[in-house]
Amino acid sequence: MPIIVESNAGNAELFTTVTGAHSLVVPTLDELKKSLSSVSDEFAIVLGPGVDLEAAAALADMLRVTRPTISVILIRRRVDTSVLAEALRSGMREVVEERDLTGLGSAVSRARQVWQALNGPLENASGGASGQVVTVFSPKGGVGKTTLAVNLGIALAEKGAKRVCVVDLDLSFGDVAITLQLIPARTMADAVHFESGLDFDVLEPLLTPHNTGITALVAPVQPDAKDSIPPSLVGRILSILKNSFDFVIVDTAPTFDEFVLQAFDETDTLLLVTTLDVPTLKNVKIAVETLDLLNFPKSRRRLILNRADDKVGLSADEVESTLSMKIEASIPTSAQVANATNSGEPITSALPKHPVSVAVTTLARAISTAAEPKAAATPAPKSRVAAPRRGLLRRNSR
């Protein structure tokens, strides 16, 4: 976490809007030294404009030897060559002007990256194992993807036994909010304003709770808001949520866009949804081939057959043969699914004994059981230098 040294309460509050609400604020360097002895995950020290330059330089000089993974960030009312020269001599990593909040946020973000490169990922807030990202994807619209994502989230939550967040990644035309009949105060578009200092304390106010016990991060209200969201932000959001929830269910757009690829990078289980019609089956087959090209592990893929009892001339065996995948779950057809959604209560919650609810709940239990060994495993000792993660967007760049 960042530690801010600033005696002016107004300034400190302003700085925390970009460093994160979890930032520790102390008024003096003496208090800072006491705090350093009691915390272990600090990655940045922000020295406010009221801190004496000579004292700030002495602190930075000491920390570059005793705590080299900490980045010292100096804030000055005016940055000139003498300030930059002193900062360079003492080993400070960044100098920003007092009014440059964007620059401060970027400096803190870079400090976090330096710390993680040397120490490995920061621990999650609860200190426990990270959760699972389950992405629901189909290259064809209208196959029941959103309905499955929402009901799966409810089934996984088990009336509060698991912490579950549903993320709507169909950023232009997402339907998670309307499916759950939520009226959100914030959407994913609001995360853009906090991108440089994003953490769970910043992200949590953007989430909308539902009476079933799940939480949702909904898509922007206006379709053009998608253009303001950088794809990299999606990866950061999912990574943060993964460390704060047992399960993060991601509902995607029916396309291999950059946002979906970022989601795949964080995905532990990919649910590939198909139905018993030739156009959908053709698109899903192309999607499977694309996943192969992206080197997405086959062990993480699960084939879900929705409306499995439709009498349309295709069978489940033909689906498995065409896709060379075993069907993990078959969900029956029922008009009551739409009726439940239209009434404002998804079917898993409204009719838990309905055949559709039973099928979704069985799938949820399988996913939950598969996740248990990973959650219970003893963490391996941390390496001093973490191996770089290769994202899907970079898999074919070599």
What does the pLDDT look like over 322-331, one tens digit per residue?
A: 999 999 999 9
Q: Which residue has the tokens 């922000």?
A: 46
- Residue 392 within a domain: no
Give the model's confidence band at 386: pLDDT under 50 very low, under 70 low, under 90 confident, else very high. very low
Give the containing element (helix H, strand E) for 221. Answer: none
The better pLDDT of the pair 141, 126 is held by 141
Q: Please give the radius of gyration of the chain, using alpha carbons only, rounded to the nearest integer.
A: 24
**What is the average pLDDT across 75-94?**
90
Helices (H) and strands (E) in the chain, counts: 15, 13
Share of the chain above pLDDT 90, in %: 34
Least confident of 112-121, 351-360, 368-377: 368-377
Residue 385 has pLDDT above 70, yes or no: no
pLDDT at 124 over 90: no
Structure tokens given for 4: 């801010």
**Is the residue at 125 inside a domain?**
no
Rounded to an integer, the average pLDDT of 93-108 is 85
Helix axis angle, 278-293 to 316-323, nearest 10°: 30
Identify the pLDDT of residue 70.
Answer: 86
Query: Beta strand pairing status for 71-76 and 132-137?
Result: unpaired
Give the CATH number for residue 329.
3.40.50.300
Q: Tell me the pLDDT of the chain averaged across its residues.
A: 83
Identify the domain containing residue 263 by its residue range.
132-371
pLDDT at 18: 72
Q: Which among 96, 119, 142 is the end of a domain?
A: 119
Name the phi and psi angles at 42, rounded to 5. Answer: -75, 135
Give domain status of residue 126, yes or no. no
CATH number of the domain bearing residue 80: 3.40.50.2300
What per-residue confidence (pLDDT) applies to 7? 86
DSSP letters spanning 32-94: HHHHHTT-S---EEEE-TTS-HHHHHHHHHHHHHH-TTPEEEEEESS--HHHHHHHHHHT--E
Instruction: Verify that 97 and 140 share a domain, yes or no.
Output: no
Per-residue pLDDT tens for 137-188? 999 988 999 999 999 999 998 866 689 999 999 988 889 999 998 888 888 8
- Check whether residue 104 and residue 239 sit in a common domain: no
**Residue 397 clears pLDDT 60, i.e. is over it:** no
Considering the domain architecture, whether residues 220 and 360 belong to the same structural domain is answered as yes
Q: Could you read off the pLDDT of 192-203 as tens digits, one per residue?
A: 877 666 778 778
98 and 205 share a domain? Answer: no
Q: How far apart are CA 158 and CA 390, in angstroms?
A: 34
Q: How far is CA 209 from CA 21, 146, 184, 206, 232, in A?
A: 20, 17, 9, 10, 25
| pLDDT score for 154 | 93
Residue with tokens 């530690």: 3
